[in-house]
A and B are shown apart, each in its own frame.
Chain A
Amino acid sequence: MAALLEQLAPSSSVRIGGLTRSFGERVVLDGVDLEIPPGQFVALLGHSGSGKSTLLRAIADLDHGASGSGELLAPERVSVVFQDSRLLPWRRVLDNVVLGARGKDDEGRNPVERGLAALAEVGLAGRERAWPSQLSGGEQQRAALARSLVWEPELLLADEPFGALDALTRIRMHTLLRELWERHRPSVLLVTHDVDEAVVLADRVLVLDGGRFSLDLTIGLDHPRSYRDPRLAEYREQLLSALGVDQDDNHPAKEATA
């Protein structure tokens, strides 16, 4: 009964309590607590090797190799976007987008109809019959976004989805991702190295350090945000110092500034 009520009016999309994950001796996640309300856009920052991908894999139930404990509640429909588009080279774009999708959605659309709509949404209408190798890197990543949309996810997990793209394409992808979020309102957990990406896109930014969150920052600015907005500077500053970057430090995280 309680579970049913929870389903009708979920108070949180993701709930994690005391989550630990370790590889051999190495403890990567050391009692992480996290609650993400439905529809919240969360960015996750942290040094390389701090365990961001490990956390994401745990939530996506992909961590067969890791040992650990803790409570973990995630929604039924979860989509994952990887750093590489991970399109199967032997399937055409549309076939990739509808891979694994089955049944009709609430509006009675079959997978192919949903796939076509999703491709149109990410600006790839007309490229349905192309092979993935014929798309540019940015287009491939859009196709990957379309594939995740077909699932109408309640939670979208993205692990540095724009990491391999150039600065301009990345900004365009930010706009697209934000638009898609406005329309579909999934909860989002976006792993990124780019502090600017985090402050421009997210409502809340987490910093993972030493197996726990060292900062949980809410960004209360309206959307759409401009990269030039001076109010972002303060948030950026807080995040950089949480990441251990001093003002005149030439740290890679700062160089990533678009």
Chain B
Amino acid sequence: MTDTVTGAVSGTLAPPAAVPGTPVRRSSAPPGTVVRHRTRRLAPGRRLPYSRLAGPLLLLLVWSLGSVTGVVDPRVLPAPWTVVHTGAHLWVSGTLRTDIATSLWRAAQGFAIGLTVGVVLALVAGLSRTGEALIDGTVQINRSVPTLGLIPLFILWLGIGETFKVAIIAIVVYIPIYLNLYSALAGIDTRYVQLSEVLRLSRWQFIRQVVIPGSLPGFFVGLRLGVTGSWLSLVVLEQINATNGLGYMMFQAQNYGQTDVIVLGLLIYGIFGFVSDSVVRLLERRVLAWRHSLSS
């Protein structure tokens, strides 16, 4: 009977039909017939493994087709294989390897510092009133200053070397991590506080077994924002103020009109972002298994 039904039939139960033989879920039910609709599944269906790669792959396909058919002018956007070829060439005989390494190292340093600072400040502010009084207002002010606007000042303070870049990335990273973790820590459900009092938990047990696990969902929200922020600020910093790294490579290519190199740089940034976000997601799924117990 399923062959009369168009669209995906995901359930295994045949839906009850009021009139025997009447195909269900047909939009044009005869007048007077009561067709009982199944409840609509509101949550999206099962996730296929690696399904998140589908969108990027489709994009790649369209790009390739456009290049093959000549719809896309190679001066505007070179073909994918040209970019790959350029990449291979630069990898073997150019500076691509050191550029990638430099960029990764900057992002990693900035991210690590931002993560540490964000977590430590949030813990201090979220778990003690003194810490809250000293830290929270300060961070809120820091947050309302656009971090990229600090670049000129930081260059004057720290010079145009690596330090200022790492510092800017760290600031971009620590703010969302702090904000989300702090509000999760401070917003712990009072019912759990009462429970912990009844169970005579020590302060340390309360923090470790109730407050911190309860704030992990908020932490991961901040972590993902932080990861995105680290790449974002890296791109900006390297395109304006660098003498090496991927952004510098692209900047140079602009001067010589090498579109393929620019696209290569963008692609590499994209891959970095995608991979790091996937890693965080994976980690989140592991750590927050208790949340996914219903949906998976």
Contact = CB atoms under 8 A, between A and B. Distances in A.
A binds B: yes
Interface of A: 60-62, 78-80, 82, 84, 86, 88-91, 99-101, 131-134
A134 B296 CA distance: 12
A234 B214 CA distance: 49
Chain B's interface size range is: 20 to 34
B194 interface: yes
B208 to A, nearest CB: 11
A116 to B, nearest CB: 18
A70 B119 CA distance: 45
B51 to A, nearest CB: 25
Most buried by B among A78, A79, A131: A131
Q: Main SS of chain A's interface residues? A: loop
B294 interface: yes
A69 to B, nearest CB: 21
B293 A131 contact: yes
A88 B294 CA distance: 16
Contacts, number: 49
Given A88-B192, A91-B209, A133-B293, 9 more contacts: A89-B290, A90-B214, A90-B288, A90-B290, A99-B201, A99-B209, A100-B199, A100-B200, A133-B290
A61 B197 CA distance: 9
23 contacts: A61-B197, A62-B198, A82-B194, A82-B195, A86-B192, A86-B195, A88-B192, A88-B195, A88-B209, A88-B213, A90-B214, A90-B290, A91-B209, A99-B199, A99-B209, A100-B200, A100-B201, A101-B199, A131-B290, A132-B290, A133-B290, A133-B294, A134-B294
* B contact face: mostly helix, strand, loop, or mixed: helix
Contacts of A82: 191, 194-195
A60 B291 CA distance: 31
A88 B201 contact: no
B198 A79 contact: yes
Contacts of B192: 86, 88
A99 B198 CA distance: 11
Contacts of B205: 100
